Amino acid sequence: MTTLYTTMPLELVLDGMQSDPAPMIEVSRGELTMLLAPVAPGVGRLVRLLSAPLDYYLRAEFSPGSLVYYGTPGTEEKRTFGGDQPPTIM
C-alpha cells in the first residue's frame, strides 16, 4: 500500500488517472528519435527525446513542450501508444 501526502484535494491529484493516454507519435531524423503528442497535422509537442546525441539534451529547442514540425522531408514517423540534421523547430 502506498501513502500519498499532499495538501491538494484528492480529486485534483487523481484527476485523469482512469482515462486512456493520448496517442503519441515516434519521429526519427538521422540519429535523433523523439516522442511527440500531435497538436495539428504535421505539428507535435515534444514529450521526450528517446535517443539523441548527448548535446541535443542540452539544447533549448529540444526541451519538453517545444513544437516540432514532423511532416517535413527526411523524417520517419511511427505511431505509438503511451539524419544529422535536427527537425525543424517552430
Evaluated on CA atoms 5, 6, 11, 12, the torsion sign reads: negative
- Angle CA(49)–CA(51)–CA(54) in degrees, nearest 5? 90
25-65 confidence digits (pLDDT tens): 999 988 999 999 999 998 999 999 999 999 999 999 999 99
Backbone angles phi, psi at 55, to 5 degrees: -70, -20
Q: Read off the pTM.
A: 0.63
Find, among 33, 46, 37, 24, the residue nearest to 90 by Cα: 46
Residue 7 φ then ψ, to 5°:
-95, -10
Q: Specify the residue for cell string 522531408.
A: 73
Cell of 48: 521526450
Is pLDDT above 60 for 68?
yes
pLDDT recorded at residue 84: 44
